[in-house]
A and B are shown apart, each in its own frame.
Chain A
């Protein structure tokens, strides 16, 4: 029979993939998920979807899903299947043993942007109230920590100033270091709609992405800059705006710190930021920089959307500040159609950021060193909390190698695969005496773990996600947890086993605690979300149903004014030379998601079964590499092998790959440099050399040919 199954139940929930936060109706038949259809009332997607959210959900019933807790004495032993009770007791006693032996601060916790707000909040509570230290970090460290830092410094809050729909009122759209049609497809479609209606498009990206040119879309200006020169180019754009007096003086006088503005104009108008100077540095035609500057300043509504191409640099925070500066100077904040908006990679990076999963701040970015703030948490939680900021994720690994960090609780993260300089991390992980992992699958990191607690997918639990537009969306349980417990319940069990009494009847009570202790979430509750669907923070008495556009009247800074940061361009220490003449930059593709934990377990693999190295035909030719051949990519840090693919998307001198497959091990190659302010790794710039794998002989011939080519060129 060709008649399709009629779903018998439909639950409205939120997509677990990227930061767009699409609403979906999860339809089940006899308790089994049979399809996901986009929810027309989803505020971010309005009934639209992408391949990941709509179709790639089978990972949750993948054969290799772990559904029984596992323990082992050493990482060289095989895993033993145990009961939940035994696993929790073992994890608890081992973490306490490590603390007794090496000190309270010898353990820490990592949460993930894959988890719900409630789980993220609970894990940081676990670190602070149960482990008794502030060693808590999350994966936003390696993607959007510079957003938090850079935007806070200029406009006051490290979050998107707009809602996604705001783009429908933009006249000029500037996309910096982002590729929305691949990374944030539903937003990408919205952006393309607006461009087809006539909005102008500026794209700043080393690659000629689909955002630059696709059906009925062509960027008015594409600045295909050399990786690592963001700050120089953005300063040069500012230079043109200031020199040509294209800034919005009335806005700056009314809303910003004028003295700081004057200091900034003096700084950027320096000749060293003239397009004629920066152009050659960045590999750009100076006129294009001028054109971009004039277009952005002319508006009337210009909106900036940016991604990891801005943040994952040694000057990531500076790059974000540049964007804050530009939008303030041109008065592109505080209304619909304008703004500065980070496009966040994971479903809940914004939640991970704002709910205190950081070693130095509680939820709402309030410092652990602040006695009053800490006091309010101590009162609510009934324990004394540590006033000293804890270790950041990379510092935890460093401390492990230094000998004073020996235990970790990792929820929904795979740092061994996703973090930079893999060999260093593996060495650090080997030093640990107790690593507790809570995840759906065994992964690269669990190779170094002692306890594995089988977690629940977002289809199996209740909670909320906060999307990239600050929207708190409800996650609803669609099917029963395969391993028996929702993730937050597992953390509660662990807290209780370690002697801290935590009692929650349902996830909504954790959200109530978040609301009680976090000003921006004050008005948010399951009841509110049930009633109005979703709400963007800040949500409080003044905005009982949330806030779509930030900064309408003032900026959330002490004096209510926006300010300007001096953003000196400092070239990254990672540079090309004769040995490593190419720049490797990394990114993502539509059909795969992040390190691929979910999508690689679905049919999405049919589209992208392996990561390939995009290389220009020119660079390939002088190395004797043919399209589709396996090549070795090596950097100062390590090497890996993958298949070369000729591409017109990258210019000469640049190679590009994705990081979706563990086998690629591309993070063995990426550098250990990181953002000066936040330690966000510099994934986007690594000097490499690419040689054909075939034979050393061939490689030598190719090198000779290259030398000859350089001589004659």
Chain B
């Protein structure tokens, strides 16, 4: 129910997925017992148990999406490593958020993201992505990139914010914010695989698209690919 999704948000916590209203369900996260409303995600339960799970495409103002693959966990009796954002809690569930294998998987994911991110902007950045890198202890990657998005031009058409596709990890948060929060549906992800990219309107510059500059996409972007121009002295220069 949308009611609790909005009214139970906290400024200093990101539960990862929207709060829900419902009967209490009890589970354990890394051995800690926690009760959360039915319909909540494992990610939210872990956040409530102070066992924060790393994440990039998830935030509690948007419905879960499950694309970044950073929030993988182990659940007793289930095979594989389900994404905690898209997995709904169940009574008696036993969740493990930290293990050697999970550490290895998450590191692999972060290294892949890092391999297509402007290297010069890793130090000194302060986005959620930078925090995830620091928490995962990832500073380098083993790949020799053949093809990257690093030379894609920056869209500076909007007077207030810019979009640097080189920093975009196509997590869809901006697209979902434009739809779910603002309701303008100005953004989309177009193309498939490596070619997939965030596009405004009919693949137009932001300023010329039907974007209404509400800032929801900028607010939710985890990598500072979408960012306020007011945070830069002078013109934006990548790298």
Contacts of A193 in B (CB 8 A): 2, 180-181, 183
Query: Is A216 a contact of B160 with CB atoms below 8 Å?
Result: no
Quick one: CB contact mask for A585-618 with B, threshold 8 Å, 1 for yes? 0000011000000000001001100000000000
A43 to B164, CA, bound (A): 32
Quick one: CB contact mask for B114-133 with A, threshold 8 Å, 1 for yes? 00001011011110000000
Complex: chain B residue closest to A48, CB-CB: B181
Query: Is A41 a contact of B228 with CB atoms below 8 Å?
Result: no
Inter-chain contact total with CB atoms closer than 8 Å: 118
Contacts of A606 in B (CB 8 A): 159, 207
Interface residues of A in 269-327 (CB under 8 A from B): none
Query: Is B160 a contact of A4 with CB atoms below 8 Å?
Result: no
Interface residues of A in 3-55 (CB under 8 A from B): 3-6, 25, 34-35, 37-41, 43, 46-51, 54-55
**What distance in Å separates the Cβ of A135 from its nearest Cβ neighbour in chain B?**
41
Contacts of A189 in B (CB 8 A): 181-183, 214
**B23 interface hit (Cβ, 8 Å):** no
**A575 interface hit (Cβ, 8 Å):** no
Interface residues of A in 656-675 (CB under 8 A from B): none
Q: Which of A5, A47, A51 contacts B219 (CB 8 A)?
A: A47
A35 to B232, CA, bound (A): 11
Query: Is B160 a contact of A2 with CB atoms below 8 Å?
Result: no
Query: Is A4 a contact of B232 with CB atoms below 8 Å?
Result: yes
Contacts of A603 in B (CB 8 A): 159-160
Quick one: CB contact mask for B7-51 with A, threshold 8 Å, 1 for yes? 101110000000000000000000000000000000000000000
Query: Is B215 a contact of A55 with CB atoms below 8 Å?
Result: yes
Contacts of A39 in B (CB 8 A): 11
A35 to B123, CA, bound (A): 22
**A192 interface hit (Cβ, 8 Å):** yes
A3 to B227, CA, bound (A): 11
**What distance in Å separates the Cβ of A533 from its nearest Cβ neighbour in chain B?**
10
Given A4-B224, A54-B214, are A49 and B233 neighbors across the interface (CB < 8 Å)? Answer: no
Given A3-B124, A193-B180, A216-B185, are A54 and B239 neighbors across the interface (CB < 8 Å)? Answer: no
**B3 interface hit (Cβ, 8 Å):** yes
Interface residues of B in 165-192 (CB under 8 A from A): 180-185
Query: Is A2 a contact of B181 with CB atoms below 8 Å?
Result: no
Q: Which of A34, A41, A54 contacts B10 (CB 8 A)?
A: A41
A5 to B228, CA, bound (A): 10
Contacts of B184 in A (CB 8 A): 214-215
Query: Is A40 a contact of B61 with CB atoms below 8 Å?
Result: yes
A515 to B121, CA, bound (A): 52
Quick one: CB contact mask for A192-211 with B, threshold 8 Å, 1 for yes? 11101100000000000000
Query: Is B126 a contact of A4 with CB atoms below 8 Å?
Result: yes
Query: Is A35 a contact of B228 with CB atoms below 8 Å?
Result: yes
**What distance in Å separates the Cβ of B10 from its nearest Cβ neighbour in chain A?**
7
A169 to B21, CA, bound (A): 14
**A1 interface hit (Cβ, 8 Å):** yes
**B81 interface hit (Cβ, 8 Å):** no
Query: Is B121 a contact of A168 with CB atoms below 8 Å?
Result: no
Query: Is B120 a contact of A196 with CB atoms below 8 Å?
Result: no
**A546 interface hit (Cβ, 8 Å):** no
Query: Is A3 a contact of B212 with CB atoms below 8 Å?
Result: no
A79 to B7, CA, bound (A): 51
Complex: chain A residue closest to B60, CB-CB: A40
Complex: chain A residue closest to B236, CB-CB: A2
Query: Is A46 a contact of B213 with CB atoms below 8 Å?
Result: no
Q: Which of A5, A46, A185, A196 contacts B6 (CB 8 A)?
A: A46
Residue among B7, B160, B224, B237 with max Cβ neighbours from chain A (10 Å): B160
**What distance in Å separates the Cβ of B21 from its nearest Cβ neighbour in chain A?**
12
Contacts of B224 in A (CB 8 A): 4
Further pairs besides A46-B61, A54-B213: 20, Cβ < 8 Å: A2-B121, A4-B126, A4-B227, A4-B231, A4-B232, A6-B126, A35-B228, A37-B219, A41-B11, A48-B216, A51-B213, A55-B160, A55-B215, A165-B6, A185-B212, A189-B214, A214-B183, A215-B184, A591-B213, A603-B159
- Listed by A's residue number, 29 A-B pairs whose Cβ atoms lie within 8 Å are A2-B120, A2-B121, A2-B164, A2-B239, A3-B121, A4-B126, A4-B231, A34-B231, A40-B9, A40-B10, A41-B11, A46-B9, A47-B61, A47-B181, A48-B182, A50-B212, A51-B160, A51-B213, A54-B160, A54-B213, A165-B3, A165-B6, A168-B3, A169-B3, A185-B212, A189-B183, A193-B181, A194-B2, A215-B183
Q: Please report B residues at the A interface, Cβ cutoff 8 Å.
A: 2-3, 6-7, 9-11, 61, 118, 120-121, 123-126, 159-161, 164, 180-185, 207, 212-216, 219, 224, 227-228, 230-233, 236-239
Q: Please report A residues at the B interface, Cβ cutoff 8 Å.
A: 1-6, 25, 34-35, 37-41, 43, 46-51, 54-55, 165, 168-169, 185, 188-189, 192-194, 196-197, 214-217, 590-591, 603, 606-607
* 3 closest residue pairs by CB, A with B: A603-B159, A192-B183, A4-B231
